Structure 1
Amino acid sequence: MKSLRVMIVDDEQRMAEELKIMVREADSAIEITDVCYDGETALALAMEKKPDIIFLDIEMPGLDGLKVAECLSKTNNAPMIVFVTAYDEFALKAFSVNAVDYIVKPLDEESIKRVLEKCRNILQHWEFDGEDARNSKEICKKFSVEKGDRMEIIDSDTIRYIYAKDRQVFIVTKDDVQYLTRMTLHDFELRLPVKKFFRCHRNFIVNIDEIRQIVTWFKQRYLLVLNGKNKIEIPVGRVYVNKMKQYIEL
């Protein structure tokens, strides 16, 4: 099993040491690169040592965890962020900066194991040298969605885009029908074919075959205009622009 390089950040030293022990007990193939107690130090060390995962406390004096994660998300080979918080209401903010997951204090062994396993799975997908495991036998072509008291089956070829709003995720098909799904955007990102579906924003995944136009926005930003009866404009997040250029020559 490949060793994962993990950084732990918490302004409470006791909590940081407790998390360090729990992480090591949950996965023997773990290398703790650093344990930090403030955001400024964590950001500097993360950019220098490039850990695979950072367990990051949200509430810290000075540079808090959300700001640290936002800064790291703009770098190349950004680490996977797992937020550690005493308050469940921070969950939505956590995902707004592309966190992999979050765990709520008091910590427990099962949560640590679950998160580490999730990170390992993500890392395996990244290691397909740009092709991603979505091109392998693990690709998912069909998804179930709720429709009344039934489960409707949606083929991935019929999906125009997927979006998240108010902690819910929706599929919009090519015939302009919208479905609520229980999956997260990250779940879809791992299961959809990478050659056809592009995560263009923290809240959107689009079918590149459904992009009709690209509109230049302010400060070198872009809007994707999709097919459909109504004009659908979807923003491209700044950190996703380079990825978009792998799909579309600009």
Structure 2
Amino acid sequence: MSLPPAAGTDGGAPPAPTTLRVLAVDDEAPALDELVWMLGRHPQVGRVLSAGSGEAALRVLHEQQVDAIFLDVQMPGLSGLDLARVLARFAAAPPVVFVTAHEQHAVDAFELNVVDYVLKPVRDERLAEAVRRVAQAVEGKEQGGAGATSDDESIVVELGGVSRLLPRSDVMWVEAHGDYARLHTASESHLVRMPLSTLADEWHESGFVRIHRSFLVSLGHIAEWRTEAGRTTVVVGGHELMVSRRHTRALRDLLVRRAQPRARGGG
């Protein structure tokens, strides 16, 4: 049984992409100039402001409004981590992306709920991914919570020796690997040092449900479910996952309740 499409996907022109006004912060002039230049080349970035220190960044923020901050971590005086902690107390803090040569601060970044963690030397495609995440966060705020939002939890993952922050909203399903869990997105997967049971407890309120002792899935990413000869499966991101008998009824009830309001409103 296929589930109805999400609201807003049944026709009409796609919304115009968000044009961002961003602030780049780095105490090293060559690195700052390069970051400003790279950000300025991105089609979703309309204007790039710059600051050579954390203190200068605060002065800019008191005078002008920005949509996001691309911030070095290790700076004399007010460090990037210090500045991020100050920004966390703002009533409407702009999303923060750390741009740094030091990957050991990824856990601190995770605790500060920054949008992304980009390692130097910065690659165009990696910076483009960070801009995409920022745009999602900004659009989510403007739409009152649609898409990725400022309270969308992130988790530190590693890919090719690079630490990064993965928003929970990107995760489609999770697979148990002993004391580890593998997070699956639309295009990649990441192994994290956390048991599936812990994620199931922590992410339950965010729409993740246990369908099997080995699988945790995001309700919003279930495309269809199938029942044949007493065997129930769901399709998530093109993958067919087994639903255990003990979880079948609860999952079916959740999916039916999720589909009913849309069915009534669909005409």
Amino acid at match of 1:8: A
Asked whether 1:110 is paired with 2:125, we answer yes
In structure 1, give the amino acid aligned to 2:146: D
1:13 and 2:29 aligned: yes
RMSD: 3.8
**TM-score scaled by length of structure 1:** 0.56
Instruction: Name the residue aligned to 1:127.
Output: 142
Pick the aligned partner of 1:147 from 138, 156, 176: 176
Looking at structure 2, the residues matched to 106 and 40 of structure 1 have their Cα atoms a distance apart, in angstroms, of 24
CA offset at residue 131 of structure 1? 4.7
Please, which runs of 5 or more residues in structure 2 have no aligned partner? Answer: 1-16, 149-168, 182-191, 222-267
Cα distance between partner residues in 2 of 1:181 and 1:65: 38
- Listed as ranges, the matches of 1:184-195 within 5 Å are none
2:214 & 2:31 partners in 1: Cα distance? 38
In structure 2, relative to structure 1, the CA distance for the partners of 1:106 and 1:179 (3 Å cut) is: farther
Q: Which moved more, 1:7-16 or 1:165-174?
A: 165-174
Q: Does 1:31 align with 2:60?
A: no
Alignment size in residue pairs: 165
Aligned to 2:115: 100
Select 1:55's aligned residue among 70, 92, 98.
Answer: 70
TM-score by length of 2: 0.53
Residues 60 and 109 of structure 1: CA distance in aligned 2, closer, same or farther (over 3 Å): same
Deviation per residue, 1:25-64 (Å, 9 max, x gap)? 12354211x2111111112212332311101000000000
Following the alignment from structure 1 to structure 2, what is the Cα–Cα distance between the partners of residues 51 and 5?
Answer: 5
* Letter of the structure 1 residue corresponding to residue 37 of structure 2: I
For residue 81 of structure 2, the aligned residue among 60, 63, 66 is: 66
Among the aligned pairs, what percent are the same residue? 30
Contact 1:9 1:16 (C-alpha < 8 Å) held by counterparts? yes
Q: For structure 1, which runs of at least 5 residues remain unmatched after alignment?
A: 135-139, 152-164, 193-250
Q: Distance in 1 between matches of 2:59 and 2:128?
A: 27
Deviation at 1:114, TM superposition (A): 0.6
Once the two structures are superposed, what CA deviation does each residue of 1:102-149 show, in whole Å capped at 9, x if it has no partner?
111111101111111111122221111x35348xxxxx8x95332359
Q: What secondary structure sits across from 2:200 in the alignment? A: strand
Report SS of the residue matched to 2:50.
strand
Which of 57, 65, 77 aligns to 1:42? It is 57
- CA distance in 1 between partners of 2:22 and 2:193 (Å): 31
* One-letter amino acid matched to 2:103: D
Contact 2:136 2:147 in 1 (8 A): no
* Cα separation, partners in 2 of 1:50 and 1:37, compared to 1, 3 Å: same
Q: Tell me the amino acid that sits aligned with residue 9 of structure 1.
A: V
Larger Rg, first or second structure (1 or 2): 2
